[in-house]
Amino acid sequence: MFIHCELVVLILALTLDGQASAVYGGHEAKAHSRPYMVLLERHMQNGETYYCGGFLLTEDFVMTAAHCQAKSYTALLGVHNVRNSNGIQRISVEDTFPHKDYSATELINDIMILKLSSKANFSNTVRPIALADRGDGSLPKSCSVSGWGRNDRNSKYMSLKLMEVSVTLTDKKKKKIYCSEGEAGPGEGDAGGPLVCEDGKAYGVVSHTFNKASGGPPIYAYTKIPEDGNQLDDGT
């Protein structure tokens, strides 16, 4: 029986360490078919570098997950194969604006805006994505997620190429998150990437994955993007 999303989030708060799970059960995306995708380098206090996903909103703003915290960031735009640096724009992050009500313990409002230090140059490989207008309250069904995270649960390494996978959302009545369920979904390193649905717009941000103690397929949680822009302080 499907576990309600809000209950899942409460359990997650007690059982996970805050890292979202790479695209499992997916396939390689067509090169640059998702020009809004951002590969986010997270430079940590200990000198190590980790990665999250993100997506371009405007020339100088990127959206990601609030739990993708770091000492500093570099946003890589126009990436498909991480080993091919041709055409990639590397822009440092000037400031960060996590959701004002983000809770790392309850795993809610897991969303953040990053202000780039310079404007991106738009091209065929670098373009922003529009945010969805959910004014009618309808739930999209046919959606997808993408990223460079692990695409094999037994692998220790991120994918070299952008991967994508289709997901079907469940549970219509939850206010702050969407959920999908099944073996296919986002994986470790994909947090912060967009949940994109049939109209080509971003509906949510990849947040966390929950593996039920009773077994069965994982449940994936996506933070809903607030309709009220005041909930996300972008410094403007």
The answer to whether residue 200 is domain-embedded is yes
**95 and 106 together in one domain:** yes
The alpha helices in 48-88, defined as continuous H runs, are none
Question: Does residue 229 fall inside a structural domain?
Answer: no
| pLDDT value of position 236 | 41
Tokens read off for 76: 């890589």
Looking at residue 124, its pLDDT comes to 96
Over range 44-53, report the average pLDDT. Answer: 94
Are 64 and 109 in a shared domain? yes
Q: Which domain holds residue 86?
A: 37-128
More confident residue, 3 or 71: 71
Do residues 123 and 170 share a domain?
A: no
Residue 21: per-residue pLDDT:
38
Which phi and psi angles does 27 have, rounded to 5°?
-150, 165
Domain stop point among 106, 128, 150: 128
Instruction: Indicate whether 96 and 165 sit together in one domain.
Output: no
pLDDT at 53: 96
- Of these ranges, 55-64, 162-171, 210-219, the one predicted with the greatest mean pLDDT is 55-64
pLDDT for residue 9 is more than 60: no
Tokens found for residue 227:
């309709």
According to DSSP, the residues that pair with 50 across neighbouring strands are 42
182-195 pLDDT tens trace? 888 898 889 999 99
* CA separation for the pair 128, 228 (Å, rounded): 20
- CA triple 202-98-113, angle to 5 deg: 45
Asked whether residue 7 carries a pLDDT value surpassing 70, the answer given is no
- H or E element, residue 14: helix 5-15
pLDDT at 170: 87
Tell me what the mean pLDDT of segment 97-106 comes to. 92
Same domain? 97 vs 206? no
Per-residue confidence band for 35, with pLDDT thresholds at 50, 70 and 90: very high
End residue of a domain, out of 128, 154, 183: 128
Question: What whole-number distance in Å separates Cα of residue 223 and Cα of residue 103?
Answer: 12
Q: The pTM is what?
A: 0.85
Going 100 to 105 to 106 to 109, the CA torsion angle's sign is positive
* CA–CA dist 135, 58 (Å, integer): 22
34-71 per-residue burial string, b: 16 or more CB within 10 A, e: under 16: bbbbbbbbbbeeeeeeebbbbbbbeebbbbbbbbbbbe
Does pLDDT of 92 surpass 60? Answer: yes
Confidence band of 14 (pLDDT split at 50, 70, 90): very low
**Mean pLDDT, rounded, of the chain:** 84
Q: Specify the number of domains making up the chain.
A: 2
